[in-house]
Amino acid sequence: MILLGVNVDHAATVRQARYRDEPNTFGGFVEPDPAEIAWRSEEAGADGITMHVREDRRHVQTEDVERYMENKRTRLNLEMSWAEEMVDYALRIKPDSVCLVPEHREEVTTEGGLDVAGNRTKAREVTSALVDAGIPVSMFIDPESSQLEASAEVGAPWVELHTGSFAQAWFDQEARTREMEALRSGMTLGVELGLRVNAGHGINYDNVVEARTLDQVHEFNIGHSIISRSLFTGIEEAVASMRASLNPDS
């Protein structure tokens, strides 16, 4: 069984596009409510919810995270940078897991994986602070052996392999095969190193058919395609059909 984590950031992106300057994050005419999208996703079969609180707060706000947590049914994977402010925030609210990602202000969404191998001291310090507080840490990395080995070495129990290059290569068979091979061998190495291996970024209703053949994956974290489809079908149908696509035989 491959688990589905639903990333609700883009529901917050839509709200911020209109109501960035409102004092409230929900209620009245302030919509859509990312916490409500998260709860409904859980009802439809999501195994977990991801929210990315960016340092510039461009989409999810801390109020969204905390409201969701008051009534969550599954688990919160808090995506964040390893800035001190964010680590303190995670230690205070105690999500079920933290996914560490690189953040660059100019990017539209997360681009590229975290350079754990080049920042071992920082990675070790942040990981041990969170893991000692009982919060599993997942490193969002490209499927490179140096990054996998460094993640295990600094004590991260989980990694999330970046599937963006695979998704981008969808119309180029040669590149796509190469990216799938990189993901497959990254997963094998991760499992050998004792890591739980998740994956995500750019997975949609088409490429999931190939992505799901990465059978060592524990969970896919998927956002944009689910939120986009929900505009036509509602979030429940969008989540249920993605979960069914991940596990066609169950």
39 Cβ neighbours under 8 A, 6+ residues apart = 68, 71, 72, 73
234: left (phi over 0), alpha (psi -120 to 50) or beta: left
Q: Which is nearer to ligand PXP, 9 or 64 (CB)?
A: 9
Which stretch of DSSP H or E encloses residue 124?
A: helix 120-132
Residues 109, 112: Cα–Cα separation, whole Å: 10
Contact 160, 198 (CB under 8 A): yes
**Using rule CB under 6 A, residue 64 touches ligand PXP:** no
Do the beta carbons of residue 55 and residue 86 sit within 8 Å?
yes
Site for ligand PXP in 113-142 (CB under 6 A): 140
Question: Any contact of residue 79 with ligand PXP (CB under 6 A)?
Answer: yes
Stretch that binds ligand PXP, among 56-64, 181-189, 219-227, 239-247 (CB under 6 A): 219-227
Among 101, 123, 126, 152, indicate the residue that binds ligand PXP (CB under 6 A): 101
Minimum distance of ligand PXP from residue 111's CB (angstroms): 9
Q: What share of the chain is helix, strand, coil (3-state, %, to 5)?
A: 45, 15, 40
Work out how close the CB of 234 gets to ligand PXP at its nearest, in angstroms, rounded to a whole number: 18
Q: How many Cβ atoms sit within 10 Å of the Cβ of residue 1?
A: 11
Task: Pick the piece of the chain touching ligand PXP (CB under 6 A) from 11-19, 26-34, 188-196, 200-208.
Answer: 200-208
- Is residue 26 helix, strand or coil? coil
Q: Does 160 bind ligand PXP (CB under 6 A)?
A: yes
**Tokens read off for 140:** 């969002």
Does 203 bind ligand PXP (CB under 6 A)? Our answer is: yes
Work out whether 109 is an interface residue with ligand PXP (CB under 6 A). yes
Q: Does 166 bind ligand PXP (CB under 6 A)?
A: no
16 counts as binding ligand PXP under rule CB under 6 A: no
Q: Which residues bind ligand PXP (CB under 6 A)?
A: 7, 9, 52, 79, 99, 101, 109-110, 140, 160, 200-203, 221-225
